[in-house]
Amino acid sequence: MKPIALIAQFARMVAFYAMLALGGQAFAQADPLPSWNDGAAKQSIVNFVQVTTTQGSPQFVPPDERIATFDQDGTLWVEHPMYSQVMYCLDRVPAVVKAKPELAQVEPFKTVLSGDRAAIAKLTMPDLMKILAATLTGMPVEQFQAEVKAWLAAATDPRWKRPYTELTYQPMQEVLKYLRDNGYKTYIVTGGGQDFVRVYAEQVYGIPPEQVVGTMGGTKYGYDKDGKPFLTKEPKLLLNDNNGGKPQGIHLMIGRRPHAAFGNSPGDQQMLEYTKAGDGARLAMLVLHDDATREYAYGPAQGLPATKVGAFPQTLYDQAQKQGWTVISMKNDWKRIFAFE
Amino acid sequence: MKPIALIAQFARMVAFYAMLALGGQAFAQADPLPSWNDGAAKQSIVNFVQVTTTQGSPQFVPPDERIATFDQDGTLWVEHPMYSQVMYCLDRVPAVVKAKPELAQVEPFKTVLSGDRAAIAKLTMPDLMKILAATLTGMPVEQFQAEVKAWLAAATDPRWKRPYTELTYQPMQEVLKYLRDNGYKTYIVTGGGQDFVRVYAEQVYGIPPEQVVGTMGGTKYGYDKDGKPFLTKEPKLLLNDNNGGKPQGIHLMIGRRPHAAFGNSPGDQQMLEYTKAGDGARLAMLVLHDDATREYAYGPAQGLPATKVGAFPQTLYDQAQKQGWTVISMKNDWKRIFAFE
């Protein structure tokens, strides 16, 4: 290569590296959490990432140990007026009854088929368990996945008239990405069915199946008529991934204590405690549903009398204060709720 | 910068990139499996990696779906004359009896304490289960991890007089690394205790805790006297990760079908079948223990009469032939067995 050609090539390389450097700088300066208002909640996330990922920081966490866990319903996406998975189970009842017509006259299937919303809302927990068992088990794993996929493509939330998978909170999507960009492995740790959430978690949250921890059912190994092996979903509960079950599920599936955990309900209390009880920097955050206009208000929102708290006891928020968890106010901390807004 | 300085800097950069390029080439040409003899087994691994990782190949597997699973005992390390975990449990009996002196006169603890090897070898399965429950459960997770770690640092194999963790097969370590270098996530899928194997899997195999699938026990969530939460290992079996339990464990922990699986015993049959039954290129391999000189011969080694096959039935090898699994002969396919040789 002639000297002049060398210099020309060098100039191109300089331009290229300068672009890279500037790009990197621009990226570093861009706000990784643009849907968050400035405030204590946003600051606690940014601080946590900085102290745990800066080499030489006394609270530095080696990349292998960067584990962050997220409850799903009410933390990553809308859970009201009913969990999407329960909607799925109710919607599947007609198909189940078609396959077993004798169920049409048997409760709770009869009530579900009636379409009487008031009666359906009054179904007891044992009734719901029967519906869950009938719609979530008894079929090959692949068939279940195909049924959930088809339902997700067609079903819409009654309020926003959009697919459930669009009702994820944009600020939390940004937290997931921000943590991953900083070497954290992000896990869903949900009371929902592990196999259900896995169907869409990769597409919706960028979280692969092996990083979804949920309520776990057993499977049975067998062979079809051609001798091909397959797994059937069984009505056998291995782990109820709620309350103390969340740390148990984390131990079972991950085997390490998270450095960051996000939840919104009493079912997440133990996960947040367990996370916060580890050494070094640990981030525990609780999403408070206090935005009746843009989403729903059903937590102990400020100003609501204690009696209105319902299933979200004030004690959970007292514990947050006491143990250094950060409460996220949807109303005040989130600039926008959904990506489509 | 003056032109001459520019040229000097460019020369340095050219030298640097040339070095990188040459280094890359040297690396690409280096044998990734130097402890393997040339032959069908080695070739099947190399072919599998090439067809599944070359862009444009009809059998290309996207990086997210590159999952490879490995049995441990007898596949990644020595399992004779007894599984290391059983040795651990027997070695822990004195400490358990010290904490509960009344066990000293109770079977099977009395026999273990006697040190009578012939009597210990005759312990029944229910007896062994009692020993496993007493030594593997009933303590906090962290205490168990510390006990296993201390034992591993002190215990040695009776034949090689080395720590068990040095008795891994060097050719298989190379396969683990070769697959990882090509974007595969490597998992252990073992009949051994998940919590036991996790203690050393990262250090010994480069496999993090969340990629160890094993026989799973339940835990209990509770608080110590200072209110700090912890998990206790419970004598409750969640999943026996053997036979049909291996595909079940893979579904539970990974949620995807592996593209490659390695085993050595009837307990691996279903994992190999399940892997091979997937679409596209799937690699199933079976380690045959036919090297009495360098390790042990206890599989249906060629020339041994069928009656000597014992717990490794000829039918497993017939199935390998029929379903296109590749048998690895330790004697013929492995240039060396251990890293210390």
Per residue in A110-146, pLDDT tens?
Answer: 999 999 989 998 999 899 999 999 999 999 999 999 9
Q: Which of B86, B103, B83, B106 is nearest to B95 (CA)?
A: B103
| DSSP secondary structure code for residue A192 in this structure | E
- Tokens 């919590």, residue? B195
pLDDT band, residue B6 (cuts 50/70/90): low
pLDDT band, residue B19 (cuts 50/70/90): very low
B245 chain-A contacts, CB cut-off 8 A: 221
| Rounded CA separation B135/B96 (Å) | 7
Per-residue confidence (pLDDT) for residue B305, from 0 to 100: 47
Per-residue confidence (pLDDT) for residue A190, from 0 to 100: 98
The reply to whether residue B212 touches residue A273, judged by beta carbons under 8 angstroms, is no
Please state the rounded mean pLDDT for residues B99-107.
Answer: 94
B7 chain-A contacts, CB cut-off 8 A: 3, 6-7, 10
Q: What percent of chain B clears pLDDT 90, i.e. is strictly above it? A: 80
| Rounded CA separation B301/B124 (Å) | 28
DSSP string covering B153-188: HH---TTT-S-GGG-B-HHHHHHHHHHHHTTPEEEE
CA angle, residues B325, B264, B61, in degrees to nearest 5: 45
For A282-307, what is each residue's pLDDT tens digit? Answer: 999 999 998 989 999 886 655 554 44
Strands A326-329 and A283-288: parallel
- Residue A262 DSSP SS3: strand
Question: Hey, what are B75's tokens?
Answer: 């596949």
For A235-244, what is each residue's pLDDT tens digit? Answer: 999 999 999 9
Which of B253, B259, B319, B322 to mutate: most A Cβ within 10 Å? B253
Q: Are A78 and A289 contacting, i.e. CB atoms less than 8 angstroms apart?
A: no
Distance from CA of B251 to the nearest CA of A (A): 8
Per-residue confidence (pLDDT) for residue A315, from 0 to 100: 86
Per-residue confidence (pLDDT) for residue A4, from 0 to 100: 55
Distance from CA of A213 to the nearest CA of B (A): 8
- Residue A318 DSSP SS3: helix
pLDDT band, residue B313 (cuts 50/70/90): confident
Per-residue confidence (pLDDT) for residue A25, from 0 to 100: 47
Distance from CA of B277 to the nearest CA of A (A): 7
- Residue B3 DSSP SS3: helix
Per-residue confidence (pLDDT) for residue A271, from 0 to 100: 98
For B118-144, what is each residue's pLDDT tens digit? Answer: 999 899 989 999 999 999 999 999 999
Per-residue confidence (pLDDT) for residue A22, from 0 to 100: 47
Amino acid at B315: T
Please state the rounded mean pLDDT for residues B240-259.
Answer: 98
* Closest chain B CA to residue A13: B10
Q: Which of A115, A3, A315, A281 is nearest to B11 (CA)?
A: A3
Please state the rounded mean pLDDT for residues A308-332.
Answer: 83
Q: Which of A271, A334, A327, A284 is nearest to A302 (CA)?
A: A327
Q: Is the dihedral of CA B217, B218, B221, B224 positive or negative?
A: negative
B200 chain-A contacts, CB cut-off 8 A: none
Question: Chain-wide mean pLDDT for chain A?
Answer: 90
| DSSP secondary structure code for residue B334 in this structure | B
pLDDT band, residue B110 (cuts 50/70/90): very high
* Closest chain A CA to residue B231: A248
- Residue B69 DSSP SS3: strand
* Closest chain A CA to residue B9: A10
A10 chain-B contacts, CB cut-off 8 A: 6-7, 9-10, 13
| Rounded CA separation B205/A133 (Å) | 40
Strand positions, DSSP E, B275-320? 283-288
B255 chain-A contacts, CB cut-off 8 A: 194-195, 198, 208-210, 212
In this complex, which of B6, B185, B277 lies closest to A228 when CB atoms are compared? B277
The answer, yes or no, to whether ipTM is higher than 0.95 is: no
The reply to whether residue A251 touches residue B277, judged by beta carbons under 8 angstroms, is no
Per-residue confidence (pLDDT) for residue B3, from 0 to 100: 53
| Rounded CA separation A322/A316 (Å) | 10
pLDDT band, residue A11 (cuts 50/70/90): low
Question: Hey, what are B40's tokens?
Answer: 């069908």
| DSSP secondary structure code for residue A79 in this structure | -
| Rounded CA separation A207/A180 (Å) | 10
Per-residue confidence (pLDDT) for residue B202, from 0 to 100: 98
Please state the rounded mean pLDDT for residues A216-223.
Answer: 98
| Rounded CA separation A144/A202 (Å) | 17
- Residue A20 DSSP SS3: helix
**Cα–Cα distances in Å, from A315 out to A205, A305, B112, B180, B261?**
31, 13, 51, 47, 49
pTM: 0.90
Per-residue pLDDT at A8 exceeds 60: no
Strand partners, B232: B140, B220
Per-residue pLDDT at B23 exceeds 90: no
Q: ω before B313 within 30° of 0 (cis)?
A: no
Q: What percent of chain A clears pLDDT 70, i.e. is strictly above it? A: 87
Per-residue confidence (pLDDT) for residue B82, from 0 to 100: 86
The reply to whether residue B218 touches residue A6, judged by beta carbons under 8 angstroms, is no
Q: Are B40 and B47 contacting, i.e. CB atoms less than 8 angstroms apart?
A: no
Per-residue confidence (pLDDT) for residue B132, from 0 to 100: 93
Per-residue confidence (pLDDT) for residue B7, from 0 to 100: 55
| Rounded CA separation A256/A247 (Å) | 10
Question: Hey, what are B226's tokens?
Answer: 């200072």
For A155-197, what is each residue's pLDDT tens digit? Answer: 999 999 999 999 999 999 999 999 999 999 999 999 999 999 9
The reply to whether residue B251 touches residue A244, judged by beta carbons under 8 angstroms, is no
Per-residue confidence (pLDDT) for residue B134, from 0 to 100: 94
* Pairs of residues, one from chain A and one from chain B, whose beta carbons lie less than 8 Å apart: 106
Q: Which residue has the higher pLDDT, A11 or B245?
A: B245
* Closest chain A CA to residue B269: A229
For B213-229, what is each residue's pLDDT tens digit? Answer: 999 999 999 999 999 99
Q: Are A290 and A297 contacting, i.e. CB atoms less than 8 angstroms apart?
A: yes
Work out the burial of residue B20: count CB atoms within 10 Å of its CB; fewer than 13 is exposed, 13-18 middle, 19 or more buried. Answer: exposed
Per-residue pLDDT at B28 exceeds 80: no
A interface residues, B as partner, C-beta within 8 Å: 3, 6-7, 9-10, 13, 64, 141, 185, 194-195, 198, 202, 208-210, 212, 216, 218-221, 228-229, 231, 238-239, 243-245, 247-248, 251-256, 270, 273-274, 277
- Residue B73 DSSP SS3: strand
Please state the rounded mean pLDDT for residues B157-179.
Answer: 97
Out of B38-42, B120-124, B173-177, least confident range: B120-124
| Rounded CA separation A187/A182 (Å) | 15
Work out the burial of residue B244: count CB atoms within 10 Å of its CB; fewer than 13 is exposed, 13-18 middle, 19 or more buried. Answer: buried
Strand partners, A297: A290
Question: Chain-wide mean pLDDT for chain B?
Answer: 90
CA angle, residues A241, A247, A248, in degrees to nearest 5: 65
| Rounded CA separation A302/A264 (Å) | 15
- Tokens 């073992």, residue? B190
Question: Hey, what are B197's tokens?
Answer: 């194997």
CA angle, residues B43, B49, B50, in degrees to nearest 5: 85
User: For the packed helices B84-99 and B141-154, what is the interaxial angle rounded to 10 degrees?
Assistant: 120
